[in-house]
């Protein structure tokens, strides 16, 4: 089992969110925020999740307040915002740090020293595509929308 699948985050409801539940799936990990110019990407993320979930794909949303304080709400606020505005059905963790000394283990694995695609997260909605075996296959910039051809092609290749 990979280090990715060994991790557990806290879900928005406070319950453990074990990444073991995503073993064998292709996962798009995205640091999300409710008050960002890129927030409308939630709609495309949910569409991707719906389109490919039966084939073994999931989006994993990871709220973060490190970029201009654009995720200031409580876990309850985030859950309500995502449900009401975008009908989000994919798993969401509680807020984490994606950069700096308090960087969450998940982001140490995705972007830390020795990672496949190392380097600090540049802004909200940066995306990592993780294969069924837990290996990081691709990294996409925040401005690359979830419905762009490069993202779709990478997901479809990973699912094949």
Q: Phi-psi category of 126—alpha, beta or left, where left has phi over 0 and alpha has psi -120 to 50?
A: beta
Apex 86 CA angle, 149 and 139, nearest 5: 35
| 3-159: CATH topology | Glutaredoxin (3.40.30)
Q: What is the pLDDT of residue 1?
A: 43
How far is Cα 154 from Cα 120, in angstroms, rounded to an integer? 22
SS (H, E, C) 93-112: ECCCCCCCCCCCHHHHHHHC
Is residue 36 flagged as an active site residue? yes
Place of tokens 């972007």: 111
Q: What residues pair up with 63 in beta bridges, in sequence order?
A: 32
Which candidate, 30, 50, 40, 15, places its Cα nearest to that of 111? Answer: 30
Domain residue spans in the chain? 3-159
What residue ranges of the chain have pLDDT lower than 70? 1-2
Q: How many other C-beta atoms lie within 10 A of the C-beta of residue 74?
A: 11
Q: What is the pLDDT of residue 95?
A: 96
Which candidate, 32, 61, 59, 30, places its Cα nearest to that of 47? Answer: 59
Catalytic residue among 26, 32, 36, 38: 36
Q: What is the pLDDT of residue 2?
A: 64
The pLDDT tens digits of the residues spanning 18-52 come to 999 999 999 999 999 999 999 999 999 999 999 99
């Amino acid at each position: 089992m990979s280090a990715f699948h060994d991790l557990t985050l806290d879900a928005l409801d406070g319950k453990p969110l074990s990444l073991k539940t995503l073993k064998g799936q292709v996962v798009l990990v995205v640091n999300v925020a409710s008050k960002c110019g890129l927030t409308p990407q939630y709609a495309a993320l949910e569409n991707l999740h719906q389109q490919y979930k039966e084939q073994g794909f999931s989006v994993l949303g990871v709220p973060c307040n490190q970029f201009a304080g654009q995720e200031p709400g409580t876990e309850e606020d985030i859950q309500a915002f995502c449900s009401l505005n975008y009908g989000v059905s994919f798993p969401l963790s509680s807020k984490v740090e994606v950069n700096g000394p308090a960087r969450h283990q998940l982001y140490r694995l995705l972007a830390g020293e020795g990672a496949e695609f190392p380097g600090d997260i540049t802004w909200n909605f940066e995306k990592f595509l993780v294969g069924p075996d837990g290996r990081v296959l691709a990294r996409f910039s925040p401005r690359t929308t979830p419905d762009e051809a490069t993202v779709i092609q990478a997901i479809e290749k990973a699912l094949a």
